[in-house]
Amino acid sequence: MHLRRLKRIEGQVRGLERMVDEEKYCIDILTQISAVTSALKSVSLELLAEHMSHCVARAAQAGGQEAEDKIAEANQAIARLVKA
Amino acid sequence: MHLRRLKRIEGQVRGLERMVDEEKYCIDILTQISAVTSALKSVSLELLAEHMSHCVARAAQAGGQEAEDKIAEANQAIARLVKA
Amino acid sequence: MHLRRLKRIEGQVRGLERMVDEEKYCIDILTQISAVTSALKSVSLELLAEHMSHCVARAAQAGGQEAEDKIAEANQAIARLVKA
Amino acid sequence: MHLRRLKRIEGQVRGLERMVDEEKYCIDILTQISAVTSALKSVSLELLAEHMSHCVARAAQAGGQEAEDKIAEANQAIARLVKA
């Protein structure tokens, strides 16, 4: 499912290249870039949600250093997403 | 510690009100708003990191429905942060 | 009008301080922070739109170095907003 | 120049597809998505800056309805970027 969404995003980026190449109107290109950015954010939120439900939950259940490390790692990934 | 940061942010917002009231230069006001927004994001990332280390980790350790609920709730909060 | 919105945002930040002080549930605090961040973004987009319509438009009409400077300055402010 | 950056972004998205296909570690995929999102934002800020310097500046110089329309259109594009 992620793969299909990423393939569509790849197609959108190729569409952007065409628009730039054909010197399409700037604002239309910007609208399309905003759409791609939103699509990428959706994919990353889905991947993160899965990661939390599986990997982080399992590590937390095991406890100890592994749990702390996985949670710290997830927190860093969230910070990167929020700032990207 | 969060309280101190929020008090500083409150002071920055009051500074913004003064700037608007005194009709300060628009770009200077915008620069200051960007600073307040960044400060709020930092506070929220810290709060989220703590929530993950304590509340989510504890629920995951307990397992079951409680674990799933806490993780789903955290994922929704992350999505709101990313989109805010 | 901006002043009124900023005063409301100041009130929301004070509400956040109370929530932290009373150790309210983390997720509820995060939801409130996302609301404040969105409100600040709205104010900044309004201020920027006004700045464009008045200050940038006037400078562009005058032309020359002043026009270039105002547009460069606006572009930098937009970049700060997008990255904040 | 934009075309070259978009081609690199397309390559990064294809890299993401490979990572998903090979079931690479979630956090590494997220890091890469954050990089692509940042790269897209940079391209859009550059395109917008050029649009402001050429199209918006020219319309503002001409004045009248055309100037107002171009500025309103730019403001809407900026809002989409900030919220994307």
User: What are the pLDDT digits (tens) for A34-52?
Assistant: 999 999 999 999 999 999 9
Residues C21-76: tens digit of each pLDDT: 999 999 999 999 999 999 999 999 999 999 999 999 999 999 999 999 999 999 99
Residue of B33, B41, B50 best to disrupt the C interface, most CBs of C under 10 A: B33
* Percentage of residues of chain C with pLDDT beyond 70: 100
Confidence of residue A55 (pLDDT cuts 50, 70, 90): very high
Q: Is domain C2-83 given the CATH code 1.10.10.10 in the classification?
A: no
Q: Which amino acid does the sequence have at D53?
A: S
Chains that touch C (3 or more CB pairs under 8 A): B, D
Question: Residue A34 in contact with residue D44, Cβ under 8 Å?
Answer: yes
Q: What 3-state DSSP class applies to C44? A: helix
Give mean pLDDT, residues A4-10.
Answer: 98
C-alpha–C-alpha distance, residues A19 and C38, integer Å? 31
Mean of all residue pLDDT scores within chain B? 95
pLDDT, tens digit, for every residue of D24-55? 999 999 999 999 999 999 999 999 999 999 99
Ranges assigned E (strand) in chain A:
none
Q: What is the pLDDT of residue D84?
A: 84
pLDDT tens, residue by residue, D68-81: 999 999 999 999 99
CA distances for D31 relative to A11, A82, B5, angstroms: 21, 12, 28
Q: What is the ipTM of this complex?
A: 0.93
Q: Does A38 contact D3 at a Cβ distance shorter than 8 Å?
A: no
Domain ranges, ordered by start, for chain D: 2-83
Residue C1 has a pLDDT of 87
Nearest CA in chain B to C9: B13
Question: Considering only alpha carbons, which residue of chain C is nearest residue B80?
Answer: C34
Closest CA to D10 of A40, A84, A80, C79: A40
Mean pLDDT to the nearest integer, A27-32? 97
